[in-house]
Amino acid sequence: MKLSIIGAGAVGTSCAKWAVVKEVAQEIVLVDIVPGLAKGKALDLAQSLPLLSRSIKIEGTEDFSALSGSDVVIITAGKPRTPGMSREDLLKVNAEIVKACTEKVKLYAKDSIIIVVSNPLDAMVYVAYKVSGFPKNRVIGMAGVLDSARYRYFIAEALGVSPADVSALVLGIHGDHMLPLVRLANVAGIPITQLLPQEKIEEIVYRTKYGGGEIVSLLKTGSAFITPGLATIEMAESILKDLKRVLTCSVLLEGEYGISGVFLGVPVVLGRKGVEKIIEIDLLPEEKEALLACAKACQDLISQLEL
């Protein structure tokens, strides 16, 4: 299996590192337009192989033809946020970058599955879908796995329990309208509504929604990259190893949840074919309304794009 990562910045490098640690592919390629950057990162990473007792082929390059034969291509190329910026502020600049990268994927790795990470996420997956012309099961966005991990962590922290025992999901757009579902969040099967007071739950939901911004304002230069990289590799691993994991990913909705024509985060089954099934859960009227607000926010972004 071959995994390629476009963009050897913070998130791309984190993806490559976790891919090596979790041994998700036999070959890993990092591509970036900055001369020497991908090659340097790849060399640094390759030198961890003796310590990890792994034999993986790792290459870094500016030459996009190295994407050839990739099973999965992750696109992390693009500007990250700086303090005070919203993800939406990156729309125009990152659309051009994602477009350029997708054209290369189409040229060199036309049978691959694309995972987009660049922000604003749900609009950038749409760009990759339109530009690649790939079927919808092969163009997927990463956000829900990260947002759900943040949500699960904050619940575990509030209760003083292991994050491993917290199960929860965040639906919708990767932005302020995202929808951390309270009703289905649980600790070892026990609903959080029976474990935490309402005010604490509201605080956790708020912190989850703005979890990315909290890190941006602390880092001051750049955005989160450690867990974003791992969340992306969770998805890539499920595809490359055909694990059929149920993960919340940004996928094209065509009638599911009463929404069409936009990419939004919903639970899906990820396997060797990419998105193998979209799982539709029954939502309460207020949850449905919140998901429709996500669809509208995404539609507003898409309508600003010239593709």
Ligand X SMILES: NC(=O)c1ccc[n+]([C@@H]2O[C@H](COP(=O)([O-])OP(=O)(O)OC[C@H]3O[C@@H](n4cnc5c(N)ncnc54)[C@H](O)[C@@H]3O)[C@@H](O)[C@H]2O)c1
Distances (CA, A) of 152 to 160, 169, 213: 12, 8, 17
Is 298 near ligand X (CB under 6 A)?
no
139-141 and 113-116: which strand pairing? parallel
> Taking the complex as a whole, how short is the minimal distance between the CB of residue 276 and ligand X, in angstroms?
21
User: Is residue 177 among the annotated active site residues?
Assistant: no
Determine, following the binding rule CB under 6 A, whether residue 77 of this chain makes contact with ligand X. Answer: yes
- The sign of the dihedral angle between the CA atoms of 37, 42, 43, 44 is positive
Report d(CA 248, CA 146) in Å as an integer: 9
CA distance 230 to 6: 16
Please give the backbone phi and psi of residue 43, each rounded to the nearest 5 degrees, phi first.
-65, -45
Binding marks (x or -) toward ligand X, 219..238, rule CB under 6 A?
A: ---xxxx--x----------
Identity of the amino acid at 17: K
Q: Does 249 bind ligand X (CB under 6 A)?
A: no
Q: Which residue lies nearer to ligand X by CB, 192 or 234?
A: 234
Q: Is 288 in the site for ligand X (CB under 6 A)?
A: no
Q: Is 127 in the site for ligand X (CB under 6 A)?
A: no
Which is nearer to ligand X, 32 or 196 (by Cβ)?
Answer: 32
Of the residues 174, 187, 231, 302, only one is catalytic, namely 174
How many residues are listed for the chain in this entry?
307
Residue 45 found at the interface with ligand X (CB under 6 A): no
- Which H helix or E strand runs over 73? strand 72-75
- In the complex, the smallest distance separating the C-beta of residue 224 from ligand X, rounded to whole angstroms, is 5
* Among the listed residues 25, 73, 91, 117, the single contact to ligand X using CB under 6 A: 117
**How many whole angstroms separate alpha carbon 68 and alpha carbon 110?**
8
Residue ranges binding ligand X (CB under 6 A): 6-12, 31-34, 37, 76-81, 90, 94, 97, 100-101, 117-119, 121, 142-143, 146, 174, 222-225, 228
Positions marked active-site: 174
